[in-house]
Homo-oligomer: A and B are copies of this chain.
Amino acid sequence: MSAFDKYKLSSMELPRDLKKIDTKAAGELCGEIREILIDTVSKTGGHLASNLGTVELTMAIHRVFDSPKDKIVWDVGHQAYTHKILTGRLDRFDTLRQDNGLSGFCRPDESVHDAFISGHSSTAVSAALGIACAMKAAGDKHHAIAVVGDGAATGGLFFEGLNNAGKSETNIIVILNCNEMSISKNVGAVAKYLSQLRTKDSYHKTKSVVERALDKTPVVGRPIKKTIRSSKNAFKNILLHSTMFEDFGFEFVGPLDGHNLDELEKGLKAAKAMNCPVFVHVNTVKGKGYPPAEKNPGEFHGVGAFEIKTGNPDVVTSDSYSSVFGIELTELARKNKRIFAITAAMKYATGLHTFAKAFPDRFYDVGIAEQHAVTFSGGLAAMGITPVFAVYSTFLQRAYDQIVHDLAITDYHAVFGIDRAGIVGSDGETHQGIFDVGLLTSIPNTTIYSPSCYDELRLCLSRAVNDDKGIVAVRYPRGSQKPTFGEFTSDYYLEGGGADTLIVTYGRLCTNAARARAILGNKDIKCDIMKLVRIYPIEEEIIGIISGYKNVIFFEEAYCEGSISEKYSSLCKNVTPVSLPGFIRHAPVDVLLDENGLSAEKMAQKAEDIINAT
């Protein structure tokens, strides 16, 4: 028994059976899908608005193309819930983002229909081109289809992909799912340009690209061509016109109404028949079919559980590291005119909306473009500005070279507010913020703070913007603070004295470490405890303290290689590091901390084991 047995979809073999029904029946299934999406995401949390926008598009793709022989690459996977439902995963759809359940993104190890992993933005054209080139080499005539949200279209990788795909002699189709939103409102010239395209409704030329292409494909082509010719008004959008994407070498189809199945299928069939790189422009409405999400797609981009009737998502909360960061930076900026703030399409999620409202002239949302955000920061820094780039840990990875080349070599002063540092939970493997420590420490001229509570975040941020030099990162986890221990500081704090054993940690693990110490105390096992707040560079003073203990156990919520605990263990021979051994799957944060030895209980056990062994 599945929760979805009442739906027609549950009795179909998918995606195969989608080709056996007519458009009307397919449209009815789209209604079912919307119900399932709203019902499920209201319980599991997840990306609602973007998925409501792609219901018909996904249906049309699976009716026109033949997955998994045709390969569909979603950019990013958070618009692919309908794809999951239509490729045999409906029975498990209520496990979405849950422990041992379906991923919130596409994963090749979850389904043969997920042609490529897709958690980070702007990757699909490049990945699909690789797939298309491999198909070409094998004489395989199937298509590689990249479905790209317009938010992803600001990422440089998307352009690198287009530049190579447009001139490739492959069957690659790039579908731009254009809803004029990235995560918050789109920014930049590309958005403006797409918006202009979107509102155009007639590009009349004597002979369209589509028609020319269809002339070459007699069997499939003729009927479609006839349809196009006979319905200039109803189907007016599939017509030749000059776009930036044609400059890149693509044939162009669109704009198509992304909620009109008939129009979508005709357009996609035309694209398929061309057998060359084709760019298909589809207009969708983010949140389509659920009024609260249509009205407020930003709030329904990524949501926790919510009440369907009122549509109240629990997204905007003042009790989070992000909001404390945004408010504190705004306060600091009142006194220090040199502070500018930068985000890559995450104005709300990083808490910077507060800053943007107070100082619109010193705030830049650059769109999904982390590389630019960092090099742009370099340009500001060259002029004496103090740029503060607020970015998720996992997305900072995009800017490694820019940090090295455009900030570190010149030793410019720039601050990163690294949000979602550490394990993020249900967003999973592609989004865990576990590499920023190794990334930043592998670059010279960097300083890293990892506050364990809001007060420390405020102290660290103030010091980062007003006192420090070079690249200064303040990293903090998703969500709200939990109890820490000891005095608030931006350096380090040692509690206890006289024990043989020392527990060292930083950031939100301070909560569990303090509890671990209490557990040990209850067993009459004494240990001291130290929190690091300025975790890097390595400090002689801390080495001195550590060296005084018999056993030191350093717990760290970061990938082991390049971690702070690894560094202290290379310098102090008595340090046992406990950190993350590799990629981390999706599951609740507490579950993942526990299975990696970082719950209070596991910490206490580890300490006891080490004490007993020495």
Q: Does A364 contact B (CB under 8 A)?
A: yes
List residues of A whose CB falls within 8 A of some B CB. 73, 108-109, 115-117, 119-120, 123, 126-135, 137-138, 144, 154-164, 166-167, 187-190, 192-193, 242, 244, 247-249, 340, 361-362, 364, 366-367, 369, 371-372, 375-385, 387, 395, 397-398, 400-402, 404-406, 408-410, 429-430, 435, 438-439, 441-445, 559, 561-562, 566-567, 569-570, 573, 577, 582-583
**How far apart sit A89 and B559, CA to CA, in the bound complex (Å)?**
47
Least distance between A127 CB and chain B CB atoms (Å): 4
Contact A247 B193, beta carbon cutoff 8 Å: yes
Query: CB < 8 Å: which of B135, B189, B190, B583 contacts A383?
Result: B135
Contact B559 A444, beta carbon cutoff 8 Å: yes
Please, which residues of chain B bring their CB within 8 A of the CB of A577? 570
Contact B108 A410, beta carbon cutoff 8 Å: yes
**How far apart sit A429 and B190, CA to CA, in the bound complex (Å)?**
35
Residue of B nearest to A444 (CB): B582
**How far apart sit A429 and B402, CA to CA, in the bound complex (Å)?**
14
Least distance between A382 CB and chain B CB atoms (Å): 6
**How far apart sit A372 and B158, CA to CA, in the bound complex (Å)?**
8
Contact A376 B126, beta carbon cutoff 8 Å: yes
Contact B126 A409, beta carbon cutoff 8 Å: no
Contact A371 B157, beta carbon cutoff 8 Å: yes
Contact A438 B562, beta carbon cutoff 8 Å: yes
Least distance between A191 CB and chain B CB atoms (Å): 8
If over half of A's interface residues share one DSSP class (helix, strand or loop), that class is named, otherwise mixed; here it is helix
Please, which residues of chain B bring their CB within 8 A of the CB of A123? 375, 402, 405-406
**How far apart sit A582 and B154, CA to CA, in the bound complex (Å)?**
34
Contact B120 A401, beta carbon cutoff 8 Å: yes
| Known A-B contacts A133-B380, A159-B156, A190-B248; A397 and B404 likewise in contact (beta carbons under 8 Å) | yes
| Known A-B contacts A127-B375, A379-B128, A380-B134; A120 and B405 likewise in contact (beta carbons under 8 Å) | yes
| Known A-B contacts A242-B242, A441-B562, A561-B442; A248 and B193 likewise in contact (beta carbons under 8 Å) | yes
Least distance between A163 CB and chain B CB atoms (Å): 4
Contact B400 A134, beta carbon cutoff 8 Å: no
Please, which residues of chain B bring their CB within 8 A of the CB of A108? 382, 410
**How far apart sit A299 and B156, CA to CA, in the bound complex (Å)?**
29
Contact B189 A382, beta carbon cutoff 8 Å: no
Please, which residues of chain B bring their CB within 8 A of the CB of A387? 130
Closest 8 CB pairs of A and B: A130-B379, A156-B156, A570-B570, A134-B383, A400-B400, A438-B442, A160-B372, A126-B375
Contact A189 B160, beta carbon cutoff 8 Å: no
Least distance between A372 CB and chain B CB atoms (Å): 4
Least distance between A135 CB and chain B CB atoms (Å): 7
Least distance between A121 CB and chain B CB atoms (Å): 10
Contact A130 B376, beta carbon cutoff 8 Å: yes
| Known A-B contacts A404-B435, A570-B567; A134 and B376 likewise in contact (beta carbons under 8 Å) | no
Contact B164 A115, beta carbon cutoff 8 Å: no
Least distance between A105 CB and chain B CB atoms (Å): 10
Least distance between A300 CB and chain B CB atoms (Å): 25
Least distance between A45 CB and chain B CB atoms (Å): 22
Contact A367 B130, beta carbon cutoff 8 Å: no
Query: CB < 8 Å: which of B161, B192, B340, B398 contacts A167?
Result: B192
Please, which residues of chain B bring their CB within 8 A of the CB of A154? 160, 163
Contact B559 A562, beta carbon cutoff 8 Å: no
| Known A-B contacts A156-B155, A372-B164, A400-B397; A382 and B127 likewise in contact (beta carbons under 8 Å) | yes
Query: CB < 8 Å: which of B163, B187, B244, B445 contacts A188?
Result: B163
Please, which residues of chain B bring their CB within 8 A of the CB of A409? 117, 429-430, 583
Contact B378 A116, beta carbon cutoff 8 Å: yes
Contact B371 A156, beta carbon cutoff 8 Å: yes
Least distance between A359 CB and chain B CB atoms (Å): 10
| 24 residue pairs bridging A and B, Cβ less than 8 Å apart | A120-B401, A126-B375, A126-B378, A127-B375, A130-B375, A130-B378, A133-B364, A133-B379, A144-B379, A156-B371, A159-B159, A160-B367, A160-B371, A162-B189, A164-B366, A164-B372, A190-B248, A192-B249, A435-B442, A438-B562, A439-B442, A442-B562, A566-B567, A566-B570
Contact A134 B379, beta carbon cutoff 8 Å: yes
Query: CB < 8 Å: which of B130, B166, B362, B429 contacts A377?
Result: B130
Contact B406 A397, beta carbon cutoff 8 Å: no
Contact B405 A401, beta carbon cutoff 8 Å: no
Residue of B nearest to A563 (CB): B442
Least distance between A294 CB and chain B CB atoms (Å): 27
Least distance between A332 CB and chain B CB atoms (Å): 17
Contact B137 A163, beta carbon cutoff 8 Å: no
**How far apart sit A372 and B165, CA to CA, in the bound complex (Å)?**
11
Query: CB < 8 Å: which of B188, B189, B439, B569 contacts A570?
Result: B569
Most chain B beta carbons < 10 A, residue from A73, A128, A144, A570: A570
Residue of B nearest to A362 (CB): B137
**How far apart sit A115 and B410, CA to CA, in the bound complex (Å)?**
11
Least distance between A240 CB and chain B CB atoms (Å): 15
Extra contacts besides A397-B405, A567-B570 (9): CB < 8 Å: A127-B382, A130-B387, A134-B382, A157-B375, A160-B369, A164-B364, A164-B369, A443-B561, A444-B583
Please, which residues of chain B bring their CB within 8 A of the CB of A443? 435, 561
Residue of B nearest to A248 (CB): B189
Least distance between A370 CB and chain B CB atoms (Å): 8
Contact B189 A406, beta carbon cutoff 8 Å: no
**How far apart sit A189 and B248, CA to CA, in the bound complex (Å)?**
5
Query: CB < 8 Å: which of B134, B167, B244, B377 contacts A244?
Result: B244
Please, which residues of chain B bring their CB within 8 A of the CB of A562? 438, 441-442, 561-562
